[in-house]
Amino acid sequence: MKLIVGLGNPGAKYAGTRHNAGFSVIDELAERHNIKVDTCKHKALIGKGVINGEKVILAMPQTFMNLSGESVRAIMDFYKLTVDDLIVVYDDIDLDVGKIRIREKGSAGGHNGMKNIILHSGSQDFVRVRVGVGKKPEHMDLADHVLSRFSREDLPFMRESCGKACDALEVILSDGAVAAMNRYNG
């Protein structure tokens, strides 16, 4: 069983913001595979299903971004999962809108949600899919940037990157992270 966690902040106020790119990917993946992500458990909205023959738990932590690790740890403990079973999808300001990047492990890279997951999981050796949300404009505070919505010009690229991230997750589940990296990291 694999745990696919999309990072974001709960509530209508944050829907569609750059920081909720992980939630957007989980929403699309769930829709593609008819998985209802509507059960409140372990400080998250979760749904269970099967994608490409692999049992999955799709999760959207409801702890707010900076405490995402609490939810991830609770889910991993309850289902007796290890970091080998964990895939995290999150926003990345160092990637252009429309781009994705897959890694098998790595640091948090300054992302507070990832820092908290690394802290609570005790490892940085888990697969992650980073979704580009674009660099922060010089005149803008980082928090304001990641909590902003996409421009009309960027929205089609964001939808494209959500689709690519879902495609990549499907490849990770069927063929492994390396195959997905070879196909989608450009």
Positions annotated as catalytic residues are 19
Consult the annotation and say whether 64 binds a ligand: yes
Sheet holding 2-6, edge to edge: 39-41, 44-51, 54-61, 2-6, 86-92, 127-132, 100-103
Strand partners, 91: 131
Consult the annotation and say whether 14 binds a ligand: yes
Is the alpha carbon torsion for 116, 120, 123, 126 positive or negative?
negative
User: What's the helix, strand, coil split of the chain in %, to 5?
Assistant: 45, 25, 35
Judge contact between 60 and 44, C-beta under 8 A: yes
Strand partners, 40: 45
Consult the annotation and say whether 112 binds a ligand: yes
Question: How far are the Cα atoms of 9, 23, 100 from residue 89, in angstroms, in the given order?
Answer: 13, 8, 10
Whose CA is closest to 131, among 112, 104, 159? 159
Residue ranges of the binding site: 14, 64, 66, 112
Residue ranges of the binding site for tRNA: 14, 64, 66, 112
